[in-house]
Chains A and B, each alone.
Chain A
Amino acid sequence: SQKIEQNSEALNIQEGKTATLTCNYTNYSPAYLQWYRQDPGRGPVFLLLIRENEKEKRKERLKVTFDTTLKQSLFHITASQPADSATYLCALDPRGGSARQLTFGSGTQLTVLP
């Protein structure tokens, strides 16, 4: 069956450290994978998109990697701040690029401790 799994429901780290979140998928062949941030009671906010032919993408303190062999994406936040505390969702296109739909993982709740 098809699955998207994010490594843990919750992750606590100390301010200034690098947070690493994992997204693994099974029985999908996505053309791209996306990461979103969601704050409580709010809609998700787009962060980064990485395509299947890209190994790594960066945006300010964020970095995403995509390994189609391992079927895994890693999401890093460097020099983390308490304001980075939120739930982070990975999402992929379930139909391999033929449509714009997204299937979401269950999310990892990140808490950055001051």
Chain B
Amino acid sequence: GAVVSQHPSWVICKSGTSVKIECRSLDFQATTMFWYRQFPKQSLMLMATSNEGSKATYEQGVEKDKFLINHASLTLSTLTVTSAHPEDSSFYICSATGEGSSYEQFFGPGTRLTVL
């Protein structure tokens, strides 16, 4: 089946630094990728939608200058958390959809970000 990987699986950084998270579709071409964040015991909150080769569309309330998304190829999207602060600590999950009429999303395993 469709496999999506994320790297790193966890990261700890100091406040003020930037962190990059990679999301890769391993065995299919992902026309659209999504980035979510999830706080403990809460549901997934969509942050942005990215299509290969175009600018990401951010959800209301998500700062695009803080959460930089690049979808440079059909198999790779990156999320950079710039000038991270402790309140950015969360579980970040990407998902991808392929071509065709299938609407299910294939999720990566998630990245646990802790900002000290």
Contact = CB atoms under 8 A, between A and B. Distances in A.
A43 B110 contact: yes
A31 to B, nearest CB: 9
A7 interface: no
B-side interface mostly = strand
A46 B44 CA distance: 14
A89 B44 contact: yes
Interface stretch (B13-21, B65-73, B81-89, B101-109): B101-109
B47 to A, nearest CB: 11
Interface stretch (A64-72, A78-86, A104-112): A104-112
A43, A45, A93, A106 pick with most chain B CB within 10 angstroms: A43
Interface of A: 9, 32, 34, 36, 41-46, 49, 89, 93, 99-107
